[in-house]
């Protein structure tokens, strides 16, 4: 009996970048509330706009960056309309990809998030005298 599925190893960095750069838009219409959305950042790093459901981490990310569109969760028509909008307006899609890339570099870069996390730790874990030094 032949298997109905085929296993593919995770792509290496070069293959992943090649794949992402071949896209016009990335959409992973999760039914669960995705807490991180790492693939959104990967798409933005390659200036690819995203279309994601309005739940989990996606509203905060997309609203902060302007790097894509939010759609109603579990609503194929809403998803189709957003994808059609970007297909019909490639300039808008390119601008969203550019904004996503810029925001990812400036606001969601590891050095920036490390500084923000350290500031929170200092604010809540250090005594007032230690925090001021």
pLDDT by residue (tens digit) across 71-129?
999 999 999 999 999 999 999 999 999 999 999 888 877 887 888 889 998 888 876 66
**Cα 71 → chain centroid:** 14
Delimit the domains of the chain by residue range: 13-108
Q: What is the CATH number of domain 13-108?
A: 3.40.50.2000
In this prediction, what percent of the chain has a pLDDT beyond 90?
68
Looking at residue 127, its pLDDT comes to: 66
pLDDT bin (cut points 50, 70, 90) of residue 53 is very high
> With DSSP H G I counted as helix, E B as strand and the rest as coil, what are the percentages for the chain, rounded to 5?
55, 5, 35
- pTM given for the model: 0.79
């Amino acid at each position: 009996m032949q298997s109905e599925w085929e296993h593919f190893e995770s792509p290496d960095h070069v293959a992943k970048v090649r794949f992402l750069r071949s896209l016009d838009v990335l959409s992973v219409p999760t039914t669960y509330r995705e807490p991180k959305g790492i693939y959104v950042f990967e798409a933005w790093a390659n200036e690819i706009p995203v279309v994601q459901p309005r739940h989990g981490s996606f509203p905060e990310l997309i609203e902060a960056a302007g790097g894509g569109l939010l759609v109603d969760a579990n609503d194929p028509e809403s998803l189709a309309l957003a994808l059609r909008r970007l297909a019909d307006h490639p300039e808008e899609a390119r601008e969203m990809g550019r904004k996503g890339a810029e925001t990812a570099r400036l606001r969601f870069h590891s050095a920036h998030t490390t500084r923000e996390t350290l500031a929170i730790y200092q604010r809540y874990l250090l005594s007032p005298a230690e925090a001021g030094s």
